[in-house]
Amino acid sequence: MKDQFQLIENGIEENIGLLHLHAEGILTHPVANNRLRILAVFSCRDKMRRFPMEADCITLKGISFFSVRADISLPDIFYHYSEEDAVHKAEVAFEYCDAKGNWHVLPKSLTLEGRHFLPQCQKSSFWYGIYRKAAYLFCTLLLPVWLLDGWFAAKGYKKSPYLEAGERGKKAAFYHAHGLVKQITGYGYSVRERKTAYFAKQYKKACKKRKEAGNLLFLSERELETGGNLDLVRSYLQEKGESFDEFIDTRPVHKLPNSGIKRSAKLAAAASVIVLEDFYPQLHALDLREGTSVVQLWHACGAFKMFGLSDIGKVSHLGQDTKNHRNYSAAIVSSEAMVPFYSEAFGVAAESVMPLGVPRTDIFFGQEYSRNVRERLYGTYPGLAGKQVVLFAPTFRGGGNKDAYYPWERFLVDAFVEALPEDSVLVVKNHPFVKQKFCCKEENKGRVLDLTGQENINDILFITSLLITDYSSCIFEASLLAVPMLFYVFDLEEYVKSRDIYFDFASFAPGKQVKSFEELKEEAGKILSVSKLGGEEILENEEGQEEGWQEAEESEEKRKEFCSYFLGSLDGHSTERVSEMILSLLHNDGKGAVD
């Protein structure tokens, strides 16, 4: 049986270019987490955009029946679209990714007139500007009314399109008032938006003064991490004798002084290549000068939790008209299989997503760094030397930094340590958001070490005999080092429902999954026993079945498949490939820049 796909409705509101799409069908491949996403893949000439749509889906006996509806703003589909493009037709194909990470093209497609994708004309007359400012002044006089309305929304007495689910308190009331006034007038009360507009104004002014750009600029709001992507590429280019500018300041734009904003805008205007390693919000407010390339190194390996434009329609502040991420000329990923996911999340063509590898992973392929980090850690923490190290590194629960926690009643430290072989120690590495501390008996303190906030987790992996985690992204680095993994997922169903992830967790996790604390203790002991003898020991259960080595072999095979799919481009030479690509952009007069 083949996949079936039927378009029920595909009408367009001509005056605003809104495509009303309704489709139904049957899928024969398993769906990840029983949650289906259909992607509408728009293409016109050299432009491409993967637009995600949430579908209602019911699976019976391995067959999934779905219905999907979406209202798609066609003028917002392509980042840059001109009258020249509009004379060509645009094609729309439909795809989905199954639970095993394989993509399937559905059997129907659309052809649309190119004129529907032209940006809507914005009113910009003098009198319209006066009207907006007058309306803003009037709305500001009524601000107490909007705040009261926001208070009702924050209390849950009414729904607000300007608030995330669960947002409460004074900030929520202010966000509601801000969103309401901005929708009416085009102006709001956000300091971030005002300073972002100032950044864009200063950039435009600097571009007028400097007619040509040819510099290389490293731009980041993240602290420069030794051994991070930006640091390694920067060092490589420095060794090559390449000159560059940098603006690295951890303060977000709304906390930057105007002098800092002005300086960063001038540096951006002078650059023909701008290199990022994370989201840099104010950069996406710019109409970049012709020939400027933006390279996104990104900080993560693989793709697990949804991010970027994959969240359109899921969070209130991210509309279809967002410019976030969409001006990247090149985005670096860890494997060929990651290209469609990053293409979707960044809103760029697949050709702009380059599987050149992740520079910070090069250390996992060299013996010198491994030897040095082992010596340093054993010297700093002598209690770890000669022991089997069990690293417990779970992710947080809760909505974010302010309410993050881990349910320690689910992981009883004393009971776990006492169940482990005597030659093993437990290292705890909490997510940085989690502030709470665990407790253990005095007699167990010699076998328990909390390194939260003290060591880079990647360094700890070099001395780890067993990693116990849940939904943390550290599994990518652990896979590269062939560290045995155990997934303690007591809340798997609840977590998958509350978080959007690209894959079926049960299928892709490179290790055994357990849901009870008793099973966790038992499986951890098994893995450590097999690991200690290099897999030569055979464990017998009550029925006398040989299972220890067999399970280890199965986990290793799953790890290799995981690495091939998510990390296939990593080989210890990522820094060189990425840096040389940046040099080619820099010295080829903007080749590869956003069109």
For the chain, helix, strand, coil in percent to 5 are 40, 20, 40
Higher-pLDDT residue of 166 and 278 is 278
Which CA distances in Å does 20 have to 8, 25, 70, 74, 310? 10, 17, 6, 10, 19
Terminal alpha carbon distance of the chain: 42
Q: pLDDT-derived band of residue 501, with 50, 70 and 90 as boundaries? A: confident
Q: pLDDT-derived band of residue 556, with 50, 70 and 90 as boundaries? A: confident
Higher-pLDDT residue of 273 and 183 is 273
Whole-angstrom distance, CA of residue 20 vs CA of residue 194:
34
Q: What is the pLDDT of residue 123?
A: 61
Q: pLDDT-derived band of residue 505, with 50, 70 and 90 as boundaries? A: confident
At 12, phi and psi to the nearest 5?
A: -125, 130
Q: What is the pLDDT of residue 138?
A: 93
Whole-angstrom distance, CA of residue 262 vs CA of residue 356:
33
**CB-based contact 323:349 (threshold 8 Å):** no
Higher-pLDDT residue of 123 and 545 is 123
Whole-angstrom distance, CA of residue 321 vs CA of residue 74:
10
DSSP letter (8 states) at residue 382: G
Of the chain, the percentage scoring pLDDT greater than 70 comes to 94
- The crossing angle, in degrees rounded to 10, of helices 126-141 and 169-185 is 150
Domains parsed from the chain with CATH numbers: 4-117 (2.60.40), 126-185 (no CATH), 212-361+574-587 (3.40.50.11820), 368-566 (3.40.50.12580)
Task: Write down the number of H helices and E strands in the chain.
Answer: 17, 19
Higher-pLDDT residue of 43 and 80 is 43
Out of 151-155, 354-358, 487-491, 532-536, which region has the weakest mean confidence (pLDDT)?
532-536
Which of 188, 186, 164 is CA-nearest to residue 178?
A: 188
Of the chain, the percentage scoring pLDDT greater than 90 comes to 63
DSSP letter (8 states) at residue 289: P
Q: What is the pLDDT of residue 399?
A: 66
Average pLDDT value for residue range 53-78:
94
Whole-angstrom distance, CA of residue 102 vs CA of residue 53:
18
**CB-based contact 348:326 (threshold 8 Å):** yes
Average pLDDT value for residue range 310-316:
83
Whole-angstrom distance, CA of residue 433 vs CA of residue 112:
47
176: part of which helix (H) or strand (E)?
helix 169-185
466: part of which helix (H) or strand (E)?
strand 464-469
- Residue 417 CB coordination number (10 Å): 21
Query: What is the four-CA torsion angle of 526, 469, 442, 414, rounded to 10 degrees?
Result: -50
Q: pLDDT-derived band of residue 124, with 50, 70 and 90 as boundaries? A: low
SS3 assignment, position 43: strand
Most confident of 58-67, 128-137, 162-171, 577-586: 577-586
**CB-based contact 381:449 (threshold 8 Å):** yes
Per residue in 402-448, pLDDT (tens digit) is 677 888 889 988 999 999 998 999 999 988 777 777 778 888 888 98
Which CA distances in Å does 543 have to 411, 539, 540, 549, 550? 29, 11, 7, 16, 15
DSSP letter (8 states) at residue 120: P
Whole-angstrom distance, CA of residue 453 vs CA of residue 435:
10
Q: What is the pLDDT of residue 497?
A: 76
Q: What is the pLDDT of residue 141?
A: 94
Whole-angstrom distance, CA of residue 145 vs CA of residue 153:
13
Q: Is 511 exposed, middle or buried (0-12, 13-18, 19+ CB in 10 A)?
A: buried
Per residue in 538-554, pLDDT (tens digit) is 444 444 345 556 777 77
Q: What is the pLDDT of residue 61?
A: 85
Per residue in 235-265, pLDDT (tens digit) is 999 999 999 999 999 999 999 999 999 999 9
User: Which residues lie below 8 Å from residue 342, measured CB to CB, with a gap of 6+?
Assistant: 298, 303, 331, 333, 353
pLDDT > 90? residue 488: yes
Average pLDDT value for residue range 182-201:
91
Out of 1-5, 193-197, 362-366, 393-397, which region has the weakest mean confidence (pLDDT)?
393-397
Higher-pLDDT residue of 218 and 226 is 218
pTM of the model: 0.87
Q: What is the pLDDT of residue 480?
A: 94
Three-class HEC string of 496-554 = HHHCCECCCHHHHCCCEEECCHHHHHHHHHHHHHHHHCCCCCCCECCCCCECHHHHHHH
Whole-angstrom distance, CA of residue 594 vs CA of residue 540:
61
Spatial strand order of the sheet with 271-276 comes to: 245-248, 215-220, 271-276, 293-296, 330-332, 353-354
Query: Which residue's entry shows tokens 């289906």?
Result: 36
**CB-based contact 484:498 (threshold 8 Å):** no
Q: What is the pLDDT of residue 545?
A: 42
Q: What is the pLDDT of residue 548?
A: 59
Q: What is the pLDDT of residue 541?
A: 47
Which of 118, 42, 115 is CA-nearest to residue 75?
A: 118
Whole-angstrom distance, CA of residue 266 vs CA of residue 262:
6
Q: pLDDT-derived band of residue 592, with 50, 70 and 90 as boundaries? A: very low
Whole-angstrom distance, CA of residue 340 vs CA of residue 353:
8
Q: pLDDT-derived band of residue 168, with 50, 70 and 90 as boundaries? A: confident
DSSP codes of every residue in 220-240:
ESS---TTSHHHHHHHHHHHT
Q: What is the pLDDT of residue 540?
A: 46
Average pLDDT, the chain: 89
**CB-based contact 88:79 (threshold 8 Å):** no
